[in-house]
């Protein structure tokens, strides 16, 4: 069969070439050169995918359209990124983040911090419906508290990620939680209920681990001098008051009232800006600077300065550029049929429910890895596996759960993925010059990778794996029955 005859679905060997070579280039760049800048390997991946598309008979305009379409779909997420950058800068300037850190150091204990931080992030993310908003606000404050307690950065980041992305996974306000049932043609709240058997055990296991680790990190004696130095630096640099937490509370209230994320976050920026002007004495020009370039302060404590000197739209541009390139790569892979060709091979070879469910989860993980986009990792397997579940007589709710577990919550664990890139930037995880220690947050984000493992276990033992109802069966099968 000629390549021309398989226009949108190249042979499996050809389809794998751009994926394998791009992953190899990423490995060389990150682990051999010690340079965590995945942009160029992913850009080369677009070129390799384009060559495959041209070989299978596609025109450049078609491949370009496919890449740009996926990029265009990401604009709401990019808008959230820009707003989070503004929030970080203005909430620090207003004293909101410093107040959260100040009282957090007084109210929390080092032993309970990781467990409490994960629970707090999960609650806020459940209310907001956005893991990114949670990471960029509450997560940032928790990073400061963890620094004050002397807890390694990667442990704090792991607890933040575990809570934020799991709250996002089961929130009815979350875009990914709505996308999965939409793609699989299932009901939203049925989908949420069906995720609880994997979500709750994963969260409980992670909570126990963070609780145990909290009592065993370091020598068990909190550094009171370090904590007091942090609190003194905050007191000398900001006017602190519980009222300064109003921007964070308002955003949560607006989310509970079901206001969309973008206007809710922007209102949070406006209120914080007013507080920075009238409470902290900032000028309007200062506010513009903080929102664009981030906040700058010298507290006299190096670790505190590192935490406070961040934010602004410009701080997100590295992440945004990476996301746009990664999404372009994912869009090109989808348009040329490379991803569909690989998934097609899988769907033809797996016959049992356990095999299908495992394949669906791992396909979402793989799409997340090579395409860099959590939305594509839900939408593409969701479309490709629908008829397979119908054929074997199992509910598509299993598929919806599989795409969320391989898509939504794996996203922050892949550094060049949209979710991973955002986490690294928003939490200030320094990984330059070959220092990749902070990437340890990936294996330590237990709640994120335990859920798909539990989901695969359920598939093989037959637990929490609903069969298809008659209404879900294909029309031909229903008629035969």
Contact 161, 441 (CB under 8 A): yes
Confidence of residue 21 (pLDDT cuts 50, 70, 90): very high
For the cut 90, the answer to whether the pLDDT of residue 32 exceeds it is no
* Region of poorest pLDDT, from 4-13, 68-77, 201-210: 4-13
The average pLDDT across 150-172 equals: 90
User: Which of 11-25, 162-176, 352-366, 370-384 has the least mean pLDDT?
Assistant: 370-384
366 is a domain residue: no
Number of structural domains found in the chain: 1
Question: Could you tell me the two tokens for 251?
Answer: 């955003």
- Closest by CA to 407, choosing from 451, 349, 441, is 451
Q: What is the pLDDT of residue 433?
A: 57
Contact 328, 369 (CB under 8 A): no
pLDDT band at 4 (very low <50, low <70, confident <90, very high): very low
What's the pLDDT score for residue 436? 75
The whole-number pLDDT of residue 277 equals: 96
Say what the pLDDT of residue 412 is.
Answer: 93
Evaluate whether residue 267 is within a structural domain: yes
Per-residue pLDDT averaged across 318-335, rounded? 84
Asked whether residue 427 carries a pLDDT value surpassing 50, the answer given is yes
User: Average pLDDT, stretch 67-81?
Assistant: 80
Q: Is residue 303 scored above 80 in pLDDT?
A: no
User: Residue range 275-279: average pLDDT?
Assistant: 95
Confidence category of residue 221, pLDDT binned at 50, 70, 90: very low
Check residue 108 and give its pLDDT: 85
Asked whether residue 159 is domain-assigned, the answer is yes
- Mean pLDDT of all residues in 5-19: 78
390-408 tens-digit pLDDT: 889 999 999 999 999 999 8
% of the chain exceeding 70 in pLDDT: 94
pLDDT at 8: 54
Band (246; pLDDT cuts 50, 70, 90): very high
* HEC profile of the chain: CCHHHHCCCCCHHHHHHHHHHHHHHHHHHHHHCCCCCCHHHHHHHHHHHHHHHHHCCCCHHHHHHHHHHHHHHCHHHHHHHHHHHHHHHHHHHHCHHHHHHHHHHHHCCHHHHHHHHHHHHHHHHHHHCCHHHHHHHHHHHHHHHHHHHCCCHHHHHHHHHHHHHHHHHHCCCCHHHHHHHHHHCCCHHHHHHHHHHHHHHHHHHHHHHHHHHHCCCCCCCCCHHHHHHHHHHHHHHCCCCHHHHHHHHHHHHHHHCCCCHHHHHHHHHHHHHHHHHHCCCCCHHHHHHHHHHCCCCCCCCHHHHHHHCCCCHHHHHHHHHHHHHHHHHHHHHHHCCHHHHHHHHHHHHCCCHHHHHHHHHHHHHHHHHHHCCHHHHHHHHHHHCHHHHHHHCECHHHHHHHHHHHCCCCHHHCCCCHHHHHHHHHCCCCCCCCCCHHHHHHHHCHHHHHHHHHHHHHHHHCCCCCECCHHHCCHHHHHHC
Q: Which residue has the higher pLDDT, 389 or 469?
A: 389
The residue segments making up the domain with residue 286 are 75-316
Q: How confident is the model at residue 5 (pLDDT cuts 50, 70, 90)?
A: very low
pLDDT above 90: percentage of residues in the chain: 41
Q: pTM to 2 decimals?
A: 0.81
d(CA 365, CA 367) in angstroms, rounded, equals 6
In a domain, 415, yes or no: no
**Backbone region of residue 205 per phi and psi (left: phi > 0; alpha: psi in -120 to 50; beta: other values):** alpha
In this prediction, residue 33 carries a pLDDT of 81
Higher pLDDT, 290 or 108: 290
Query: Does 335 fall in a domain?
Result: no
Inter-residue contact 88 to 138 (CB < 8 Å): no
What is the average pLDDT value for the chain, to the nearest integer?
85
Mean pLDDT of 295-321: 84
Reported for 378-382, long-range contacts at CB under 8 A and 24+ positions apart, including other chains, are 378/176, 378/179, 378/180, 378/183, 378/403, 378/404, 378/407, 378/408, 379/179, 379/183, 380/334, 380/339, 380/340, 380/343, 381/343, 381/406, 381/407, 382/180, 382/183, 382/184
Q: What is the mean predicted confidence (pLDDT) over 72-100?
A: 87
- 369 pLDDT band, cuts 50/70/90, is confident
Give the pLDDT mean for 17-22: 91
Query: Please, which pLDDT band fits residue 35 given cuts at 50, 70 and 90?
Result: confident
- Per-residue pLDDT at 157: 95
- Res 2: pLDDT: 35
pLDDT value of position 215: 86
Q: pLDDT band at residue 220, thresholds of 50, 70 and 90?
A: very low
The pLDDT, as a whole number, for residue 218 is 55
Decide if pLDDT at 235 tops 80. Answer: yes
For residue 122, is it within any domain?
yes
When mean pLDDT is compared across 108-117, 169-178, 192-201, the lowest value belongs to 169-178
In a domain, 49, yes or no: no
Average pLDDT over residues 187-203: 93
pLDDT of residue 34: 73
Q: Is the pLDDT of residue 45 over 80?
A: yes
Say if 459 falls within a structural domain. Answer: no
């Amino acid at each position: 069969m000629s390549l021309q005859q398989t226009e949108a679905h190249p042979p499996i060997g050809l389809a794998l070439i751009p994926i394998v070579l791009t992953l190899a280039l990423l490995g060389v760049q990150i682990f051999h050169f010690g340079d965590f800048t995945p942009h160029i390997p992913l850009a080369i991946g677009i070129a390799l995918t384009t060559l495959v598309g041209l070989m299978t008979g596609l025109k450049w305009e078609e491949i370009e359209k496919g890449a740009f379409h996926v990029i265009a779909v990401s604009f709401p997420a990019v808008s959230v990124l820009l707003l989070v950058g503004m929030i970080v800068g203005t909430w620090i300037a207003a004293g909101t983040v410093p107040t959260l850190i100040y009282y957090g150091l007084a109210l929390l204990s080092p032993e309970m911090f990781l467990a409490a931080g994960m629970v707090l992030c999960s609650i806020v993310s459940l209310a907001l419906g956005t893991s990114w908003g949670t990471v960029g606000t509450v997560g940032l404050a928790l990073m400061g508290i963890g620094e004050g307690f002397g807890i390694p950065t990667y442990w704090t980041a792991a607890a933040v990620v575990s809570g934020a992305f799991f709250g996002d996974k089961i929130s009815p306000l979350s875009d990914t939680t709505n996308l999965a049932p939409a793609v699989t043609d299932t009901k939203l709240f049925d989908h949420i209920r069906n995720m609880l058997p994997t979500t709750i055990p994963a969260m409980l296991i992670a909570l126990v681990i963070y609780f145990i680790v909290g009592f065993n990190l370091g020598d068990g004696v909190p550094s009171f001098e370090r904590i007091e130095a942090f609190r003194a630096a905050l007191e000398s640099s900001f006017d602190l008051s519980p009222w300064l937490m109003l921007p964070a509370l308002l955003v949560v209230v607006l989310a509970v009232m079901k206001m969309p994320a973008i206007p809710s976050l922007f209102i949070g920026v406006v209120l914080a800006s007013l507080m920075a002007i009238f409470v902290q004495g900032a000028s309007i020009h200062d506010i513009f600077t903080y929102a664009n370039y981030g906040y700058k302060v010298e507290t006299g404590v190096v670790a505190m300065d590192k935490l406070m000197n961040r934010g602004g739209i410009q701080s997100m541009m590295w992440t945004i550029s990476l996301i746009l390139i990664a999404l372009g790569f994912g869009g090109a892979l989808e348009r040329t049929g490379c991803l569909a060709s690989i998934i097609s091979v899988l769907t033809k070879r797996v016959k049992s429910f356990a095999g299908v469910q495992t394949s669906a989860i791992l396909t979402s993980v793989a799409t997340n890895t090579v395409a860099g986009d959590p939305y594509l990792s839900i939408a593409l397997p969701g479309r490709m596996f629908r008829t397979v579940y119908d054929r074997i007589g199992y509910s598509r709710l299993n598929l919806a759960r599989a795409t969320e577990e391989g898509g939504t919550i794996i996203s922050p664990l892949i550094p060049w993925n949209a979710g991973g890139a955002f986490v690294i930037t928003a939490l200030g995880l320094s990984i330059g010059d070959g220092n990749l220690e902070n990437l340890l947050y990936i294996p330590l984000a237990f709640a994120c990778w335990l859920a798909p493992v539990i989901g695969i276990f359920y598939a093989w033992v037959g637990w929490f794996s609903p069969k298809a109802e008659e209404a879900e069966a294909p029309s031909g099968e229903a008629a035969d029955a």
